[in-house]
Every structure is written in structure tokens, then in C-alpha cells.
């Protein structure tokens, strides 16, 4: 066996073993109503313990993470300018894709907080 096939076998075998062990161990535990209720110092809660989550806030947070990753990818561009024309073409294409995505989000009004 080559190292590659052994690595692939380990990469599929270990997650399968973990999934099977989780399923077997999870069958023994049953859902208890008392354990799944919210706990407030031994008293019954006055209101729902589950507060609704704003979908607009979630979308804004995801957009922030995407733009943050894009900035991290754009940071090394000044050092890559002196490379060959193929790298410059890839950088220009990447920037055009980012600008097109920003334009789409702007037209969709995803960036506005209403």
C-alpha cells in the first residue's frame, strides 16, 4: 500500500468510527423533558428563554465575514504587482468579481439596515 492510499483509508475510517460511536452512545440517552427546559435558579421562567434572532443581523454578519476574508486576500496584492502578466490578469479578474458582487449586493439593498 502506498502512503496515499493509507492516508485516504485513515481519512475515511476515523470519521466513520466517530460517527458510529456517536450514534451508538446517543441511543442510550433519552430525551428528558426536565433537562430540555430552561433553568432559572429553580423557578419556572416568566417568558420564553428562546429569543428570536434577527435574520438581517445574521446576513450582515455573514457579509462582514466575507468582506473580511476578501480584504485578507487583497492585502498581498502590492507585493505581487511585479510578477508576470498571468498573475496580474488573475488579480484583475479577482478584483472585478469582488466589484461585481458588491454592485449586486448594493442593488439588492443587502447592505442597508432597515
Domain ranges of the chain: 3-107
Q: Which of 28, 49, 51 is nearest to 38 (CA)?
A: 49
| Residue pLDDT, tens place only, 80-97 | 777 777 778 888 898 899
Three-class DSSP category at 7: helix
| Residue pLDDT, tens place only, 47-89 | 666 667 777 788 778 888 988 888 888 888 888 777 777 778 8
For the domain made up of 3-107, the CATH class stated in words is mainly alpha
DSSP 77-110: HHHHTTS-HHHHHHHHHHHHHHHHHHHHHHHTT-
pTM, whole model, 2 decimals?
Answer: 0.44
Q: What is the mean pLDDT of the chain?
A: 79
Amino acid at each position: 500500500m502506498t502512503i496515499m492510499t493509507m492516508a485516504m483509508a485513515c481519512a475515511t475510517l476515523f470519521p466513520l468510527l466517530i460517527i458510529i460511536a456517536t450514534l451508538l452512545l446517543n441511543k442510550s440517552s433519552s430525551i428528558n423533558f426536565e433537562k430540555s427546559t430552561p433553568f432559572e435558579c429553580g423557578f419556572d421562567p416568566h417568558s420564553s428563554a428562546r429569543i428570536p434572532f434577527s435574520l438581517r443581523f445574521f446576513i450582515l454578519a455573514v457579509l462582514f465575514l466575507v468582506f473580511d476574508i476578501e480584504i485578507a486576500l487583497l492585502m498581498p496584492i502590492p507585493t505581487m504587482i511585479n510578477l508576470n502578466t498571468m498573475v496580474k490578469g488573475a488579480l484583475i479578474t479577482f478584483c472585478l468579481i469582488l466589484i461585481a458582487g458588491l454592485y449586486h449586493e448594493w442593488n439588492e439593498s443587502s447592505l442597508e439596515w432597515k
